[in-house]
Amino acid sequence: HPVRAALAAARDEDRDLNALVAALRHRHEGDAFRRVVYSESHDEVANGKARLPTEIDPVYADGYPARKRSMLAALLALTAPGIPMLFQGQEVLENEWFRDEVPVDWAKLAHHGSIHAFYRDLIALRRDLRGFSVGLTGQHIEVNHVNHGDKVLGYRRWREDGAAGGDVLVVLNLSTYPRNGYEIGVPREGVWHVRLNTDSTAYSGDFADHGEPAAEARPDPLDGYAHRITIDIAPYSALILSRDRA
């Protein structure tokens, strides 16, 4: 599983961005909705196999790195084209391997309610429930930014019917260092609003709300686009950005 492998790797230099790009672009017979996209499944967490947070950090499965990187895995699954799937317990940072006779421990919701809020917000964006992320509901993806040195990945999502304001930009920092003043190409002019920042303190008290809430595009070509924006992005974090609809 390329997403699990990339996020579970102990060293940043071992995170294979090319494998992530291939996974994001993959589709069956030209149709993204003929595949199910996930970061955890029954086959991967049953029979003594580890949940992703435990695979990331077997000692502190609810520690900072495990929370940060398992959130990135979920974000990749829910922002990729296809049918997203969550496995029971991900939304409360379940770290026990799956057994048929053991139900979800909903008592963990009291401790990991902020992680649950992250999944709620991510699902809302994936379904365009708030009206500014319709691009995530479509077939199309263009991976426009792959920086192997800094471990930054960026891709554009949009819908085939050209829905107004439908472009969504997803940017991930898969490294232990913040990327400040980072430039990335965007397909349209105007103000790009951060719709979700995985470093939000709403998702954990030890996160930092790193970065600005919006970035204005300027006409300076980058990544094959006519405009670029400058962003700050925290370690092991992601931003989902879009423009307001006209």
217-236 residue pLDDT tens: 999 999 999 999 999 999 99
CB of 193 within 8 A of CB of 132?
yes
Among 172, 210, 230, 212, CA closest to 17: 172
Write down the pLDDT at residue 109. Answer: 84
Spatial neighbors of 138 by CB under 8 A, at least 6 apart, are 81, 157, 158, 159, 160, 161, 163, 166
What pLDDT tens digit does each residue of the chain (246 aa) get? 789 899 999 999 999 999 999 999 999 989 999 999 988 877 766 565 788 988 999 999 999 999 999 999 999 999 999 999 998 878 988 777 667 777 778 888 888 889 999 999 999 999 999 999 999 999 999 999 999 999 999 999 998 766 656 899 999 999 999 999 999 999 999 999 999 999 999 999 999 999 999 999 999 999 999 999 999 999 999 999 999 987
Return the pLDDT at 48: 53
Which ranges in the chain are annotated with CATH 2.60.40.1180? 134-242
CATH top class, domain 134-242? mainly beta
Q: What is the Cα–Cα distance from 29 to 26, expressed in whole angstroms? A: 10
Predicted pLDDT at 240: 99
Strand 179-186 to 140-147 pairing: unpaired
- The amino acid at residue 228 is R
> Which tens digit of pLDDT belongs to each residue from 9-25?
999 999 999 999 999 99
Q: What is the pLDDT of residue 42?
A: 74
Q: What is the pTM of this model?
A: 0.95
Burial 139-170 (b: 16+ CB within 10 A, else e): eebbbbbebeeebbbbbbbbbeeeeebbbbbb
